[in-house]
Structure 1
Amino acid sequence: MLARLAAVRSRSPAESPFFIAALGVLMSFGPMGTDMYLPGMPAIGRDLHVPQDQVQWTLSAFFLGFGLGQLLWGALGDRFGRRLPVATGILLYAVGCVGCSLTTDITHLAAWRFVQAVGACAGPVLVRAMIRDVFQRDRAASVLSMMMLVMGAAPIIAPLIGGQILIWANWRWIFWAQAAFGLIALLALASLPETHPPARRGSLRPMVLLGSYRTLLTDRRYLGYAVGSSFIYAGMFAFISGSPFVYIDLFGVRPENYGFLFGLNIVGMIIINTINSRAVMRFGSDVMLRMGVWLSAASGILLVACVSGGWGGLWGLVGCLFLFMALTGFCFANSMAGALQSFPQIAGTASALAGMLQFSSGALSGWVVGVMADGTAMPMAAVIGGAALVSLALNLWLVRPVRRIQAAE
């Protein structure tokens, strides 16, 4: 077994048959950390005697920790390589899982969710850097889309697991199941080679880090990709935050069946990511991203109209959410590939900053949905539609058309 792992590490990462699959597992910390406990959110509120908005603190705390923690792991990944920081993050994630399972009040649950998220984000932020280490821009966008097909199983399986656990046990056992996923992730990490050689590693000196962030934050196109995609994330996390209460409390969906409705959206994302992985090699990532934000904005407007008019009841809502969530498959991979393209020496830092913006916007959108909660689906729909329109505006403003760039070059 050790000889096989050594042989895998000695090969080029692009040639390894386990490379994409293992990266997909490490990228799954986000959906596994959020989606598995979504069916249990109403039960958590009842058990801890708190209203919906306070239960959503735990989700916002996870998003905030997942976003801010990426700044730490991105810098460590550029200095010490990719594998060691990921392993450290997985161990911290496991500690957070245990803390969540043992807590007795909502404040400590939110705090342990923050710790859990800080550890969990090491995997996704450095996986994106690994892909930039190995692949160039359009190929990186294609690989990111293919990897999302691998990790696409997580958002389908996670809420189903959470719902089934609630049939046999209480919500605390969901966090023990999340800890078990950490062990699986460690095994996946063991099969991966180090993609960031010592000769390319940077420094942790504060002035060097500040210089890196200044470079990123003053780059127009980087901001267009990173900030623009963060608003699509805000729309997605508004759905994640609001849908358990809309589906279970408003429409009476049983908690064990919530995962099936949630999984429909992931099927749509898998389909669109499959299309994107092929189309991006022909049309380029900028073209596919521009099309994606236009369609996402249109689907957000349709969702608001559907909810305000009451069209189709539950299934009308499910259909509109399916459309919006599926179309994110044109946005995430292409925006991340564009953001990382120009910064190979600080790919970890660039990935971390983009991820921080995405998950911080997710934390904010989840909080807004909770504050606006009025017993209807409108707060969730309004945040999704508004976020999609802002993403479109930022893409049109900051990301110049592809043809103009090529002409300038």
Structure 2
Amino acid sequence: MQHKKRLIFILGMLSAFGPMSIDMYLPSLPTLSRFFSASHLAVQLTLASFFVGLSLGQLFFGTLSDRFGRRGPLLLGLTLYVLTSAGCALAPSIGTLIVLRFVQGLGACAGIVISRAVVRDRFPPQEAPHIFAAMILVMGLAPIIAPLVGGYLLVWWGWQSIFWLLTLFGIGILLLVYLGLTESHEPTAEHSLAIVQVLRRYRILLQDKRFMAFSMVYALCYAGMFAYIAGSPFVFIDLYRVPASSFGWIFGANALGLVLMAQLNRLLHRRHNAESILQTIVWVQSLAALLLLISALTPGIGMFAILLPLFVYVASIGLVGPNATALAMAEQGRHAGSASALLGAMQFTAASLAAIVIGSMTVHSALALGITILGCASFAVIALRYARTLPAPFLHTKS
């Protein structure tokens, strides 16, 4: 096995494709609306189409990685990402950008889905929450740094420079994987690519109540975070007049909270199991979402009253992610790629729906954020209550 720290660093960087590709260009959303003379909804579709690409692509790359091993499909996805990132920088219209963002998402998802599968390949289930938390420490730098960098690039060189930097980022990770990541899952003919067999594997996963319940908790909590991602640039830049170059500081502070909570997760596992941690933090998220909605309904409310509950909600993802992922993936050893793909597909399908909902609502306050995030948090509580009624094979013990 490769040195653990190096492996975690590579897997964390692969997981960073999502936040890098989303967060770096967030400060440019209002600018894109003006540059292309496009509606807010059209601009939000550049975000939603990326989510759809991430969602659908994971089903494809998860199956490929179970059949052909992890390295080959991963290198293919990274190459696709590099090419389409350059294409985004050259996009002549908002429609072209929407399409290219979809294809960019297809490439980016390879790193996300395969990194989770490699964790399942390399580490026992009891250790997985710790590994995912360590990956978040690496991945978490992206949402802290990316919007800051994106804001300054936007001011200095225009929105196109953001996608040129993403192109360079993709090239760097491609080289890192080629030189530093060995195969963790040998190719096997057992995982046929025949459509009937592929659908059969996904049907088995869809019938796995425990996998689906924890995947729904994961997807719904992340959908609330992506509602924040989609709506916050318009709320803070357009409504509260925060400069685009300064927006990254707000976004980075929330991302820092997420990273810190992920590291707290490692300490909590000394006394508590994954399910009990998840139960507590999902309720904390719900209370934060309710406070956000109340603040949004209060006339003349200040920006801080919006920022505080958003910070709590986003930071809580640092505890939701490692535990919900580990619980969902625990019994999926031979089909880790397909399971990781379905988990990610659910996550980004929910995220794309949240982005579309935010984009379709008239943004005159933070009300759209409050309604959407509270809805996501409430359904996550329901999904978790159902999950806890199902028998757990081994993760009821302390990690």
Task: State the TM bucket, normalised to the shorter chain.
Answer: over 0.9
Instruction: Give how far 1:274 is off.
Output: 0.6
Unaligned segments of structure 2, at least 5 residues: none
Residue in structure 1 matched with residue 180 of structure 2 by the alignment: 191
Alignment partner, residue 341 of structure 1: 330
Q: Which residue identity lines up with residue 133 of structure 1 in the other structure?
A: D
In 2, Cα distance between equivalents of 1:224 and 1:406: 15
Give the TM-score normalised by structure 1. 0.93
User: Residue 374 of structure 1: CA displacement?
Assistant: 3.1
| Alignment counterpart, residue 97 of structure 2, candidates 81, 91, 109 | 109
Aligned with residue 356 of structure 1, among 323, 345, 349? 345
Tell me the equivalent position of 1:329: 318
Per-residue Cα deviation, 1:345-383 (whole angstroms, up to 9, x for no partner): 110000000100000110000000111123211001110
SS of the residue corresponding to residue 344 of structure 1 reads coil
Amino acid at match of 2:252: G
Give the alignment partner of residue 133 of structure 1, picking from 108, 121, 127.
121
The residue aligned with 1:216 is 205
Gaps of 5+ in 1: 1-11
Q: How far off its partner does 1:206 sit?
A: 2.0
The residue number in structure 2 matching 1:85 is 73
| Residues 204 and 264 of structure 1, relative CA distance in 2, 3 Å threshold | same
| In structure 1, C-alpha distance between the alignment counterparts of 2:190 and 2:98, rounded to whole Å | 35
1:330 deviation in Å? 1.5
Identity of aligned residues (%): 38
Q: 1:226 aligns with which of 202, 206, 215?
A: 215
Asked whether 1:17 is paired with 2:13, we answer no
Alpha-carbon spacing, 1:402–1:303, altered in 2? closer, same or farther (3 Å): farther
Q: 1:119 aligns with which of 100, 107, 127?
A: 107
Matched residue, 1:144? 132
In the alignment, which residue of structure 2 is the partner of 1:255?
244
Q: 2:378 aligns with which of 379, 389, 392?
A: 389
Q: Once the two structures are superposed, what CA deviation does each residue of 1:143-177 show, in whole Å capped at 9, x if it has no partner? A: 10111011110001111111111121110111101
136-145 vs 309-318, which moves further: 309-318
3-state SS, counterpart of residue 193 of structure 1 = coil
More helix by share: 1
Asked if the contact 1:291/1:330 (under 8 Å) is kept, the reply is: no
Matched, 1:178 2:163: no
Alpha-carbon shift at residue 16 of structure 1 (Å): 3.6
RMSD of aligned residue pairs (Cα, Å): 1.7
Q: Distance in 2 between matches of 1:338 and 1:406?
A: 7
3-state DSSP of counterpart to 1:376: coil
- Seen in structure 2, the aligned counterparts of structure 1 residues 30 and 406 have a Cα distance that, compared at 3 Å, is closer
Instruction: Decide whether aligned partners of structure 1 residues 175 and 211 sit closer, same or farther in structure 2, where only a CA change above 3 A counts.
Output: same
CA shift in 2, pair 1:213/1:401, >3 Å: closer
Assess, with a 3 A threshold, how the Cα gap between structure 1 residues 179 and 229 changes in structure 2: closer, same or farther. Answer: same
CA contact (8 A) 1:48 1:106 kept: yes
The answer as to whether partners of 2:59 and 2:338 remain within 8 angstroms in 1 is: yes
- Give the structure 1 partner of residue 309 of structure 2: 320
Give the secondary-structure state (helix, strand or coil) at the position aligned to 1:17: helix
Alignment partners' CA distance in 2, 1:281 and 1:204:
42
Contact 1:148–1:270 under 8 Å retained in 2? yes
Letter in 1 for 2:57: G
What secondary structure is seen at the aligned counterpart in 2 of 1:375? coil
SS at match of 2:5: coil
Aligned to 2:234: 245
Is 2:83 the partner of 1:95? yes
How much does 1:343 deviate? 1.2
1:72 aligned partner? 60
Q: Which residue of structure 2 aligns with residue 207 of structure 1?
A: 196
Instruction: Report the counterpart of residue 9 of structure 1 in structure 2.
Output: none
Cα distance, 1:342 vs structure 2: 0.9
Shift in Å, 1:251: 0.1
What letter matches 1:295 in structure 2? V
Equivalent pairs counted in the alignment come to 395
How far, CA to CA, are the matches of 1:56 and 1:406 in structure 2?
Answer: 39
Once the 2 structures are TM-superposed, how far is the Cα of residue 138 of structure 1 from its aligned partner? 2.8
Distance (Å, rounded) in 2 between the aligned partners of 1:129 and 1:201: 17
**Are 1:134 and 1:195, in contact at CA under 8 Å, matched by a contact in 2?**
yes
Query: What do the CA deviations read for 1:43-88 (whole angstroms, capped 9, x no partner)?
Result: 1110100121111010000011111110000000001111111111
Contact kept? 1:200, 1:345, Cα under 8 Å = no
1:48 alignment partner, one of 33, 36, 40: 36
Q: Find 2:289's aligned residue among 279, 300, 306.
A: 300
Work out which of the residue numbers 126, 143, 152 in structure 2 matches 1:155: 143
